[in-house]
Amino acid sequence: MSGNLKGALLLMLAAAVFTGEVLLVRLAGDEAATSQIVFFRAFAQLLLGTTMVVAARGGFGTKRPGLQIARGLTSLGVWSLYYISFLLLDLALASTLTFSTSLFVALLAAPVLAERIGAARWIATLVGFAGVVIAAGVTPASFEPAVLLGIASAALAAVLVIMNRILVRTEKTPTIMFYIGVVTTLGTLPFAIANWQPLSDTGFLLLATAGLVGAGGMWLTIEAYRAGEVSALAPFPYLRLVFAVAAGYLVFTEIPAWNTVLGMAIIVASTIYVARAEHRRGLAAPHR
């Protein structure tokens, strides 16, 4: 099996897994506080990171403790906004907004990394943001305020991409994954305790499974990009939109609005172009 084929299969599986994660969160959302949801995800991340470090026979030390902490705290913000947006918005719209991260990366690349941005890339980025506006609702009457949470999550995720770019110069992936787990678990634990809601056995199982599934999706994504070329794999994460539409309809009877579908198509086209440009500059990487 070629590397690109293996990567494509892993990304298709990851798309299904991430959809399953938010589906489980939605099902548990009626009885769980957001801080509980984030805590379960963080603890699963800690388990995954620890396992990766041990499997790689590496150490737990880091040369960039300050940046590791900042990266972990930023992940906390991303996850919190991400899960809230999926609790409040239709699965299709919330999933669409997550893909605007590449657009924000393009905006940050010039001022933060002193990268030259060509005219074509600027145009693709602006077109992508137009897609976000369309998907969010083109009139004040149809605009969902919760859309801002999804956009904020995507913007913060772009900051994570930049942090990753800096961290990988001195840190190995298992080390980065481990410290994400440490910082997010410690960071969210006080809030989870303070806002703890009684969980039924079903609710506990849903949250625990969602945390493990989310961490597993990240692992699948990492392995996919280890196996294949980012430029060749660029279209496959967008299968998640198909899964989100299907899950939203089958489980919650959600039918995407016309503007969501149109915005989705525009964002997919523009972000695939931008992702290919980012790959040529070494910026494309899993960020959650």
Predicted confidence (pLDDT) per residue in 50-107, tens digit? 999 998 887 888 889 999 999 999 999 999 999 999 999 989 889 888 888 877 877 7
> At 166, phi and psi to the nearest 5?
-75, -40
User: Rounded to the nearest 5 degrees, what angle is found at the Cα of 44, between the Cα atoms of 37 and 100?
Assistant: 65
pLDDT band (50, 70, 90) for residue 272 = confident
CA atoms within 13 A on the CB side of 173: 16
Does a structural domain hold residue 285? no
CA 191 to chain centre: 22
Q: 18: domain range?
A: 3-280
Which one is predicted more confidently, 116 or 74?
Answer: 74
Does the residue 287 lie in any domain?
A: no
Distances in Å between the alpha carbon of 273 and those of 26, 95, 107, 125, 284? 31, 19, 14, 9, 12
286 is a domain residue: no
User: Which comes out higher in pLDDT, residue 227 or 25?
Assistant: 25
Domain-embedded: residue 235:
yes
pLDDT at site 285: 47
What's residue 201's pLDDT? 93
Decide which of 222 and 35 is more confident.
35
Q: How many CB atoms neighbour CB 104 within 10 A?
A: 22
Provide mean pLDDT across the span 188-203: 94
> Among all chains, which residue has been given the structure tokens 């924000």?
104
Residue 217 lies in a domain: yes
The answer to whether residue 121 is domain-embedded is yes
Q: What is the pLDDT of residue 227?
A: 78
For residues 272 and 231, give the distance between their C-alpha atoms in angstroms, rounded to a whole number.
9
Provide the number of structural domains found in the chain. Answer: 1
- Mean residue pLDDT of the chain comes to 84
* Confidence label for 283 from pLDDT (cuts 50, 70 and 90): very low
Mean pLDDT computed over 175-180 = 91
